Amino acid sequence: MAGTKAGGGTGTQVTDARDLVAIAELADMLWQLSAESTDVPIDVTPYLDGLTAVARRIQRMKPLDANGRELAARHYYAGVIAGACGDDSAIARGVSDSLVKQSASASRPAARCFVVLACMGRRHGRAFAAQSGDRVLV
């Protein structure tokens, strides 16, 4: 997957133009969570490998252009947050509401891709939450 850099207050920056910012941000969150866990360490390698696979899948989705791929990555991100924090959490609702507005003009095939990725993200977020206990991504 892409290397990412966290600048002082600038957020995550992708080091390869083809990479997806939302996926890179999830990878950064996983690394931070791993670094902060002192009592029971979390092995984030399988999750990072999973993010790489998701990014590749998004890159291969035919109905999506570059903006559509980034929007698809954001839907996956929102699904992960909803799965890890709960669908009714304020952050999950905020991210979801924002994405609804951003994807209002998407084609039907693109919208189907977004739904598939959000559901996949939700499953992955739930699995992560179940394995990591009470730790949360945000």
- Give residue 38's pLDDT: 65
pLDDT-derived band of residue 32, with 50, 70 and 90 as boundaries? confident
Q: With contact defined as beta carbons under 8 Å apart, do 85 and 137 qualify?
A: yes
Instruction: Return the minimum-mean-pLDDT range out of 36-40, 45-49, 67-71, 80-84.
Output: 36-40
Average pLDDT for 6-20: 48
Count Cα neighbours of 122 within 13 Å in the Cβ-side half-sphere: 14
| Domain positions in the chain | 4-132
Q: With contact defined as beta carbons under 8 Å apart, do 76 and 117 qualify?
A: yes
Provide the whole-model pTM.
Answer: 0.80
For 65-102, write each residue's pLDDT tens digit. 999 999 999 999 999 999 988 888 888 888 888 898 99
Taking 70 as the threshold, does the pLDDT of residue 105 lie above it? yes
Average pLDDT for 88-117: 90
